[in-house]
Structure 1
Amino acid sequence: MKTKTRVIIAGAGIAGPVLAIFLKAKGYDPIVYEKVEALADVGLSLCVQPNGLCVLGLIPGFRNKLVGEPFERFKQCSVLGGEATVLVDVDYPSRLPEETGYSMTGVRRPLFNRTIVEVAESHGVEIVFGHQLVSIKQDDANVEVTFTNGAVDRASFVVGCDGLHSNTRLCLFGHESVSYTGLTQTGGISPTPESHKAHRTMLNVYSDGAHLIAFPINDKQTSWAITRREAEARETWRSMDEEQQKSFKEGPWSQWPFGVGELVRTADQIVKYGLYDRPELHVWHKGRVVLLGDAAHPTSPHLGQGANQAFEDIYHLVRLLAKHNPSAAQPSTELLSTIFSEYEELRIARTSELVEGARKQGNVRVVQGEEACRARNEAVKAVYTDENFVSNWLQFFTHPFKMGESEI
């Protein structure tokens, strides 16, 4: 009996289990190792966009398991100098299903992660918790991975999906500091205000030195986050202590219009975290080990593309493995180099542009001084009223493939 090609995937976050599902379907034998002992209820939310959803949609039955809320509208508002103004209110998201087959959808991150893990396990993927990759040795045929608990495993190749603080990346390219963007976010999950229920809306509110984003994540709850320029705050994802939460709930944002004050006052738990990215890598692999998702190109959240770009990575890596190694046989190092290099050629430029764009977007949103804020507000209006905006926006979602044209 032919032995299947074993693949070690580091990380059971958003990307790792999805990659494992596709590899399993293509005839590989993937195993996912995750450093935490069990998935925890940490993190707030994310927006799964059509480019990511079209990849997830290739997994049979996944769409029916997704718990989230599709958006109908974008609403851009300003709170400045005692004035509350609606800058833009448009129905662009409602046009997406007809054009792409999918809506922009808000999801609760911990639930989304658990759903991905459960679907992977239902497809026969083995996920092992409590194993943090700490070292990698490789030869011409295999990779040996050692974990902090002393366990050792071997595989034909390794894919690092272990996020911003990737140990796989550290093993390949040495220590490098994460890059603090200068911005923090403070946010929570709240009951959806009555004023928000008429239309499922992604709301942006701009002020002097602050920006809020809010969107529904199910039919009862809304996720929100306020971005400010502050001293560095660690990315722990732990809730503020009770006194800090009380102070924040009673602070200036508790009086904001557009339903924002109600969101702030009614949040169950409030968390604060710094926003980081990393310097661009010019290659994502060495030998039989390759990076994917945030391990390769971590980004700040201002374009909402972090998870979606990881799903694009998955599509192209699986597509290239199927193209160059259709039998899923044990690949030579030379064959893997061809696959990984082609993957990088496709993905590095696109992801680098989006990482840079996300950082720029954060800086544009959070400006200080009334003159700068009014200029920003006019720029926001100009973007959403540009006659080319919708066509360019829809074109973005033709990646990684046009509707109905998947190669995997």
Structure 2
Amino acid sequence: MSTKVIVVGAGIAGPVLATFLKLRGYEPTVYERVPELPDGGLGHLLQPNGLRVLSKVPGLLENIEMAKLERTAFYSVVQGDTGLLAEQPTNPTFAFHGVRRPVFHKALVEAAERVGVEFKWGHKLVSLEQGEDSVTVAFENGSKATGSFVVGCDGLHSNTRTCLFGDEKADFTGLCQTGGICPIPENMNFPFTFLNIFGDGVHIVAYVINDRQASWAMTKREPEAKETWRAQDDSVKQAVQNSEVAKWDFGGSELIKNSEHIVKYGLYDRPELTTWHQGRVVLIGDAAHPTSPHLGQGANQSFEDIDLLTELLDKYNPSTASPSTSTLEALFTEFETARIPRSSAMVKGARALGESRVVQGVDACIERNNKVRIQWSDADAVARAREAMFKSVSAKET
């Protein structure tokens, strides 16, 4: 009989993990708190480390509408230092691909369903009880499920994490983002462009997500804002489209004024954990290491987690029978030893990059602009930095 695995969370990580498990002979079931597949969200930036993992799912990438970004460009609208700061064609080895989040999410769920993964929507985890050779989870709707082991993929507000390590407050980074989807501005089209525009206390990043649309996000220091991206807020749209930022050159005005759907949300991370598991339960993705989005590595780091975790299952449990707790302990410990330092560096790097982008005062802004000019003037140095970022750890290297 196949080994039952409980996957908590049907966001971006859960369906991919379940697919990998199913293809190996396990019997995963994905439990998700929301009642149905959501259609909200903006864009995702798929990077080489994440694409490498997704390429292992048969037929997935070939059937997702996405855009290969062939140019990176930086502009400034700061008084006294206006214009193009730097631009480079994309090194094909390190190409990014933009994709619309709902399109991507739906494709991941459908890929999992095609190989036989079952999804249970409307199941919010409230507790778990570990036995000698199994884990039983209870849901808010009164149902229960038992599996050999549990993987928590339930995001920033992970109930699995709370069950393991207690309730803790997510850390507001002091930054908020406002974002939207719009037709591709002229200066981002042909070639498809990854665009940055720097202002005084404001940074806009945008990228093409298909042959018609671009996704953008504006970062500012503002009071904490809850995740209003889950429901359209017309007051947010009106405030942004009437702001000075909506007058920016270099594509900024087109991004904001031509967006029909604009949302706003605070940026958070959580205290770093020294372990991601207890007994037969382990966390991955944002449940383990949530990050602010400034490196675009949130989903991509989740995919690295999945790749290594399933490689280690092959190593420690090649029969796919229900593993002992001691086997899982060894497996999860090796997994953490490799992944905690790397994900921690990404979380800290993303937060630092966000801080460096959103500076205030003309002098500080010009200093930031000059750093961008220097950093992006050396194509070889950029390539080396990206190579280091995208190098992931395999089970053979741990």
| Shared fold per TM-score greater than 0.5 | yes
- Report 1:197-346 matches (<5 A): 197-346=189-338
Equivalent residue for 1:391? 384
Q: Percent identity?
A: 51
- Indicate the larger mover: 343-352 or 242-251: 242-251
Equivalent residue for 2:99? 107
Q: Is the 8 A contact 1:239 1:272 kept in 2?
A: no
Q: Is the 8 A contact 1:297 1:355 kept in 2?
A: yes
Distance 1:243-1:340 versus aligned 2 partners, 3 A rule: closer
Equivalent residue for 2:180? 188
Equivalent residue for 1:353? 345
Structure 1 unmatched ranges of 5 or more? none
Answering whether residue 54 of structure 2 is matched by residue 62 of structure 1, we say no
* Distance in 1 separating the partners of 2:310 and 2:228: 32
Offset of residue 260 of structure 1: 1.1
SS at match of 2:274: coil
For each residue in 1:182-237, what CA deviation from the matched residue of structure 2 results, as whole angstroms up to 9, or x when unmatched? 00001100011233212111000111000000000000001011100011001231
Residue 7 (structure 1) aligned to one of 5, 10, 25: 5
* Distance in 2 separating the partners of 1:350 and 1:262: 37
* Distance in 2 separating the partners of 1:260 and 1:306: 25
Offset of residue 384 of structure 1: 1.3
Q: Is the 8 A contact 1:238 1:272 kept in 2?
A: no
Q: Is the 8 A contact 1:27 1:327 kept in 2?
A: no
Offset of residue 239 of structure 1: 4.7
Distance 1:377-1:83 versus aligned 2 partners, 3 A rule: closer
SS at match of 1:237: helix
SS at match of 1:258: coil
* Distance in 2 separating the partners of 1:293 and 1:66: 22
Equivalent residue for 1:43? 41
* Distance in 2 separating the partners of 1:396 and 1:365: 19
Aligned residues: 396
In structure 2, give the amino acid aligned to 1:158. Answer: V
- Report 1:23-42 matches (<5 A): 23-42=21-40
SS at match of 2:376: helix
Equivalent residue for 1:22? 20
- Report 1:169-180 matches (<5 A): 169-180=161-172
SS at match of 2:254: helix
Offset of residue 391 of structure 1: 2.1
Offset of residue 395 of structure 1: 3.6
* Distance in 1 separating the partners of 2:140 and 2:78: 51
- Indicate the larger mover: 78-87 or 157-166: 78-87
Q: Is the 8 A contact 1:36 1:132 kept in 2?
A: yes
Q: Is the 8 A contact 2:32 2:121 kept in 1?
A: yes
- Report 1:153-168 matches (<5 A): 153-168=145-160
* Distance in 1 separating the partners of 2:321 and 2:306: 19
- Report 1:93-172 matches (<5 A): 93=90, 95-96=91-92, 99=93, 103-172=95-164
Question: What CA RMSD, in Å, does the superposition of the two structures yield over aligned residues?
Answer: 1.5
Q: Is the 8 A contact 2:87 2:376 kept in 1?
A: no
* Distance in 1 separating the partners of 2:54 and 2:137: 29
* Distance in 1 separating the partners of 2:272 and 2:297: 16
Offset of residue 406 of structure 1: 9.4
* Distance in 2 separating the partners of 1:5 and 1:395: 37
In structure 2, give the amino acid aligned to 1:145. Answer: V
Offset of residue 238 of structure 1: 3.5
Structure 2 unmatched ranges of 5 or more? none
Q: Is the 8 A contact 2:177 2:267 kept in 1?
A: yes
TM-score of the superposed pair, with normalisation by structure 1 = 0.94
Offset of residue 394 of structure 1: 2.4
Q: Is the 8 A contact 2:22 2:117 kept in 1?
A: yes
TM-score of the superposed pair, with normalisation by structure 2 = 0.97
Offset of residue 85 of structure 1: 1.2
In structure 2, give the amino acid aligned to 1:393. Answer: R
For each residue in 1:39-98, what CA deviation from the matched residue of structure 2 results, as whole angstroms up to 9, or x when unmatched? 22211111010100000001111111122111001101111116531000101x2x23xx
For each residue in 1:248-292, what CA deviation from the matched residue of structure 2 results, as whole angstroms up to 9, or x when unmatched? 212111210111101111101110000000010000000000000
In structure 2, give the amino acid aligned to 1:177. Answer: K
Q: Is the 8 A contact 1:187 1:272 kept in 2?
A: yes
In structure 1, give the amino acid aligned to 2:191. Answer: H
In structure 1, give the amino acid aligned to 2:72. Answer: F
Offset of residue 12 of structure 1: 0.5
* Distance in 2 separating the partners of 1:325 and 1:274: 41
In structure 2, give the amino acid aligned to 1:396. Answer: M
Q: Is the 8 A contact 1:78 1:377 kept in 2?
A: yes
Offset of residue 381 of structure 1: 1.4
Offset of residue 398 of structure 1: 3.1
Equivalent residue for 1:81? 79
* Distance in 1 separating the partners of 2:137 and 2:314: 25
